Amino acid sequence: MKPYQPDFSIEKAVQQELPYMMTMREHFHAHPELSGKEYHTCQRIVEELHKAGIEDVRTIAETGVTGLIRGALPGPVLLLRADIDALPLTEQYQCPYSSQTPGVMHACGHDGHAANLLGVARILQAHRNCLRGTIRLAFQPAEEGDGGAARMIKEGILTQPTVDYALGLHVAGSMPQGYIGLRHGDCSASCDDFTITIHGKGGHGSRPSDCVSPIQMGVSIISQIQDYVYHRRADGDGVVLTFGQFQAGHNPNVIPDDAELKGTLRTYDETKRHEILHTLEEILASTAAIYGGTCHLDVVPFALVCQNDPAVTQHVEDILHDTCGQRIKIVPIERGSGSEDFAYFSAAVPACFYYVGVYDEDPVYGHNPEFHWSSKALAYMADSLLHVVYYFADKV
C-alpha cells in the first residue's frame, strides 16, 4: 500500500498563509484583552472562522470560540487549543503594533497562539479532502488564572463529536526559532493560589501584650508552612511554595487588627499537593489557638499537573522528526514550575503540549513588559502543528 501523503505541500501552504497569520497576530497584540474580557478578540475570531467557511462556529465559556473541520477521510477527532487572553502589564517594547490598551499587553504569546490556530484552521479547511479525521478548534479564554479550559470542558467542547486527543503549543522565548521543545510525562506544575486572612486585636505598639498581632501570626504561619514544605515534603521533587504579598497596618507604632497573606503552591504530585494544603489548614488552626486570633484560608486552584501522554507525545516526536526534521530541531526540555491550564484537557483525553522557539538573537522572557518576538516565528508553529495533524492517523 502506498504510504499516506497529503496532496499539497504543507510547507508551501504555511508560507502562503504566513502574511495573514502575521497580520492577525499583530492585530491581537495591538488590541489585548484580559481574562474573561476577550470580547473583541472573540468577535474577530468568529468573523475569521465564518469567512473561512468553517462549521459549528460559536462562542463557548463566554468569550471563547469553537468550530469544527470535518476531514473527507476517516480518522480520530483532534482538539487543537490556543489561548487568547492577555496580561495586566504596560508594554515597554516599542514596535508598530504595540499595545494600544494602557495597562494590558500580550506578554505571554497568546496573540501568536490565536493567530497560528486561525491560519492552521484555514489551511485545514481548504484541504479537507486529504484530512483524516475531524478537528475541534478551541480558542480558549481566561488561561491566565480564571479557569477557561475547565469551563470549556464543562460546557461540552469534548463532546459532539467526542474528542479522542488534544494538542496544544506555546511560544518559548528561551529557545531560538526553528527549535521545538518536547517533554514526555509531566511538563508543567499544578498551581494553587491562596489567600490567608488573619484577624487579631489591634492596639498601640507600646503595649503588645494587650493585643493579638496579626503580623506576628502571619510571620509564624509563613515560617511553619515553609519549614514543613522544604523539610518534609519537597524531597527534591520540585515543590514550590512562595508568598508574594503580606499586607498589614499603616503606622509604625500601631498593631493592626487584620493582615492578609497571598501565595502560590506548585507541585508535580497530586498527593503532595493535597497534603500540603491540608497541613496549611492545620497550621492556621494551631496558630489561631496559640495567639488567640482567627485565620481563614481561601484556595483558588489554577491548574493541575500538565501531563503529556507517553504514546501521543511519542507520535508527535516521530512525526516531527520524520516530516520536519530538516528545518526543525526537536530538543528535550526539563519540566517547568510554571503552570498551564491545558492540563485540564490533558487530564480529560490523551494529549501533547509542546513549545516552539521564537527568539531571533537573544532569549526573551514572558510575563514582563519587554516581551517581544518576530511574527515570522508563526511559520514554525503552523508547520509543526499541521504536520502532526495530517500524519497523526498513521500512529493511532
Of 85, 192, 257, 269, which is the active-site residue? 85
Choose the catalytic residue: 83, 143, 164, 192: 143
Secondary structure of residue 160 in the 3-state scheme: coil
85 carries an active-site annotation: yes
**Concatenated DSSP letters of 315-371:** HHHHHHHHHHTTT-EEEE---EEEE-TTHHHHHHS-EEEEEEEEESSS---SSSTT-
Pairing relationship of beta strands 132-140 and 64-70 according to DSSP bridges = antiparallel
**Distance from chain centroid for Cα 287:** 35
The residue ranges of DSSP E strands in the chain, in sequence order, are 55-60, 64-70, 73-83, 132-140, 165-176, 179-182, 185-189, 191-199, 203-204, 240-248, 254-255, 258-266, 294-303, 306-308, 329-332, 336-339, 351-359
Distance separating alpha carbons of residues 312 and 226, to the nearest angstrom: 37
103: left (phi over 0), alpha (psi -120 to 50) or beta: left
Q: How far apart are CA 53 and CA 126, in angstroms?
A: 9
Burial class (CB in 10 A: 0-12, 13-18, 19+), 189: buried
Using an 8 Å Cβ cutoff, are 17 and 122 in contact? Answer: yes
For 322, counting Cβ atoms within 10 Å of its Cβ (0-12 exposed, 13-18 middle, 19+ buried), the class is exposed
Cα(313)–Cα(351) distance, integer angstroms: 7
φ, ψ (nearest 5 deg) of residue 288: -60, -40
Could you list the active site residues?
85, 143
